[in-house]
Chain A
Amino acid sequence: MAMRGRKEETEVSRTNETGIRKVATQIAGMDEVLNGGLPAGQTTLISGGPGTGKSVLGLEFLYRGAAAGEPGIFVTFEERASDVRQNALTLGWNLTPLEQAGKLFLMEAHVDPQAVLSGDFNLKGLIAIINGKTTAMRASRIVIDALDVLLRLFDDPARERNELYVLHDWLIDHDMTTVLTVKTSKNGESSGRYEFLDFMANCVISLDQPVTEQIATRRLRVLKYRGSGFGRNEYPFCITDEGINIIPISFAGLQHKALGPKVSSGHPQLDALLDGGYRRGSCTLMSGTTGTGKTSVASTFVRSACERGEKVLYIDFEESQEAMVSGMLSPGIDLRPAVQAGTLRFLTAMPEAMGVEEHLSRVFKAIKAFQPDHVIVDAISSCERMGTRMAAFGYLTRVVNTCKERGIPLILINQTAGFREENEISGIGISSMVDTIIFLRYIEIGGEINRMVLVMKSRGSKHSNQYREFLITDHGIEIPEVYVGEGGVLTGAARQEQEARQEAQHRRRFQEIEQKEHEVIQRRAALQAQTATLKAELQAAEAQLQAFRLDEKVWQNGRTKRGEMRGEDAASTRLSTHPPRPKRRGARRPGGAR
């Protein structure tokens, strides 16, 4: 056997902080979860039930490597090579040119089920083939798919283990970056029989696909990674027409852009309620019961944005593009020019048509390809039909995060069953991510239903806190001038009646005021007359008082002069320190004058 001692540093391998060599998988999201990639020259085990995506994961690793010039071998025990090629094509990978270029080798390792077993045997045939091919291709990557099929032939756990260790040692000795896939039982736990594989491998990845409420979600979890850190969550992923796509939720949402300037809602009065409009980079929630006009308000915005030449991605879970566009014609909102101009693009799907991950993948692809300036989701309440409330939450969190990271303003439409539950208004528990909430509702007054709009919350804005009447006319939405009546905000016929009543009352009050004004003038005149009389009396009294004071002064002066002339110091001192009391004044004056 030709032994090779090969240690090639490839351009895709890199070392992390602990010095482990890693090989980047180039699979969307995978290298983030693996802190850089798979361990180079080591074995990675991928376990999971049937149909969980093990083979696709392994094949994508080889495909991406081969496309980057890194040769690899795919050993399959279950599928025919032609099936592998065909399946790869559905994922957008054409393997044939890579095979012809010697960058990829599909080895159909089919063990004839009719084969007779007699006595001891081992895996030397397989190892010889792998050795021959790796030498010829200078391959450094190998995926052995469904190894359990081969191992089962040994029919003896001890032999299985021994043989696998021989194979494993060979792969390590030859510095092969290896991926082994092994089927596990349906409950996702690896059966005890293959537990030793977990110990043998340096990296263990588990895949499963739980089905909740008829919707399947693929999940990936790294169980261990010797000598390296890794993302420890359960990561949902999907298999798209571009391969595997893992969206690590815990890595999302760290780089939100700050809220930007205001952008018009497309309606001047709504702008006034919103203190200028929606903010760029913000998330607006439009909540309301069915038929309250959520889509009309959103479409008003869509039309104005598209008229400004901005691109809008409309994710519609409720109806088809045709139904939506023609439905908006009746309130006079014509979206057809925007669709024709290519500034408005729809992404429609039934929520239950696919799992959350596929929905997400479609959204992300559309955002990437279309580069929209605005994203509308109609309606987030439908997202629960993707599976569970949790699934809907996961979907929305990631859509909101992606838009916020890119600074794309997002409008979420939420259909509520009623308006009592605060939680329901704010929509599947995402209110903390929402910057603005516009609440639309019906109110019933006098046997008539009218629409109302309220801006419940708007971060960083002095928004109106008032319920406003809101009409859908055949030329769009209308928010009439605010009506401040006595019984709160009124709408419709009730408003008109109340206005008429109010006017009558107003007229009556006006007359009363006129009468009263007249009375006031008269009274003021009377008051003025009386005041004049009293003033005159007061002035007379004041003049008298003045005269008395003058009199007193004259008397005082005279007395002082007399005292000086007589030299009566004591008398003057006594008198000056004890001024005469008013009571005794009359009695003394005659005596003093003597």
Chain B
Amino acid sequence: MKRYGQKGRAEAAETRGKPCIFRLFVAGDEQNSRQARENLKRLCEKHLNRRYEIEIVDVLEDFKSALENNVLLTPALMVLSHLTQVTIFGTLSDTHKVLSALQLT
């Protein structure tokens, strides 16, 4: 499990100043997992102005997290800092759709 930035609490999410916390489930170094990682990072850089944290979970190493979070499909992005829990499956290639799901537009 790799971590980018510092892990935070979900309750703080709505405040504009607090960072957005993501958990991205990947399956090893699969192509679509790599794409998802890259897409998420680019999106965060561009739209969140560094106020974000990304937690990467490799389901091949940590199946229990996948089970707990019911992640059957990979890659999967969960947003921990929003009050409304959102899960996005896929490589996050559709930036507009992802932003709208994250209510960042």
Contact = CB atoms under 8 A, between A and B. Distances in A.
A564 interface: no
B12 to A, nearest CB: 23
Contacts of B93: 118-120
Contacts of A131: 63
By secondary structure, the B interface counts as mixed
A128 B72 CA distance: 8
B28 A119 contact: no
Interface size class of B (residues with CB under 8 A): 20 to 34
A122 B70 contact: no
A383 B101 CA distance: 60
B73 A153 contact: yes
A122 B88 CA distance: 13
A133 interface: yes
A119 B97 CA distance: 10
Interface of A: 1, 107-112, 114-126, 128-129, 131-133, 150, 153
A118 B73 CA distance: 12
The residue in A116, A117, A118, A131 that gathers the most chain B C-beta atoms within 10 A of its C-beta is: A118
B70 A109 contact: yes
Given A128-B63, A129-B59, A132-B63, A121 B70 contact: no
A114 B60 CA distance: 25
A172 to B, nearest CB: 19
B72 A150 contact: yes
A153 B89 CA distance: 10
Contacts of B70: 108-112
Nearest to B72: A126
Nearest to B68: A129
B22 interface: no
Interface stretch (B3-11, B13-21, B29-37, B46-54): B29-37
Given A110-B70, A111-B72, A122-B27, A129 B86 contact: no
B42 interface: no
A109 B74 CA distance: 14
Given A116-B98, A128-B59, A129-B72, A121 B91 contact: yes
Contacts of B87: 112, 114-116
A110 B36 CA distance: 22
A1 B30 CA distance: 12
Contact of A118 (B71, B74, B89): B89
A121 B71 CA distance: 11
25 contacts: A1-B60, A107-B67, A111-B73, A112-B87, A114-B86, A114-B87, A115-B89, A116-B97, A119-B32, A119-B92, A120-B35, A121-B73, A122-B27, A122-B30, A123-B72, A123-B73, A124-B28, A124-B30, A125-B25, A125-B59, A125-B76, A128-B27, A128-B59, A129-B59, A133-B63
B73 A125 contact: yes
B92 A118 contact: yes
By secondary structure, the A interface counts as mixed
Contacts of A122: 27, 30, 32, 73-74
Nearest to B27: A124
B62 to A, nearest CB: 8
A115 B89 CA distance: 7
Given A124-B27, A129-B67, A132-B67, A118 B59 contact: no
Given A116-B86, A118-B88, A121-B75, A128 B101 contact: no
A305 to B, nearest CB: 61
Contacts of B73: 111, 121-126, 153
B64 to A, nearest CB: 7
Nearest to A135: B63
Contacts of A117: 88-90
A125 B90 contact: no
A108 to B, nearest CB: 7
B66 A125 contact: yes
Contacts of A109: 70, 72
A129 B25 CA distance: 13
Given A124-B74, A125-B73, A119 B63 contact: no
A115 B60 contact: no
Nearest to A2: B60
Nearest to A75: B72
Contacts of B39: 119
A131 B74 CA distance: 15
A126 B27 CA distance: 10
A133 B35 CA distance: 28
A121 B89 contact: yes
A8 B90 CA distance: 37
Contacts of B74: 121-122, 124-125, 128
Nearest to B75: A121
Given A115-B88, A119-B90, A132-B64, A125 B32 contact: no
B63 A116 contact: no
Nearest to A112: B87
Interface string B79-105: 000000011111111100110010000
A489 to B, nearest CB: 81
B76 A121 contact: yes
A216 B92 CA distance: 48
A335 to B, nearest CB: 61
Given A116-B101, A128-B60, A129-B59, A121 B67 contact: no
Nearest to A120: B32
Query: Which 9 pairs across A and B sit closest by C-beta, in order of nearness?
Result: A132-B63, A119-B91, A124-B27, A119-B90, A119-B93, A128-B59, A126-B72, A116-B101, A118-B90
Contacts of A150: 72
A111 B92 CA distance: 18
Nearest to B102: A116
B65 to A, nearest CB: 10
Given A110-B70, A128-B27, 13 more contacts: A112-B87, A115-B86, A115-B88, A116-B98, A117-B90, A118-B94, A120-B32, A121-B32, A121-B89, A122-B74, A129-B63, A129-B67, A150-B72
The residue in A107, A120, A121, A131 that gathers the most chain B C-beta atoms within 10 A of its C-beta is: A121
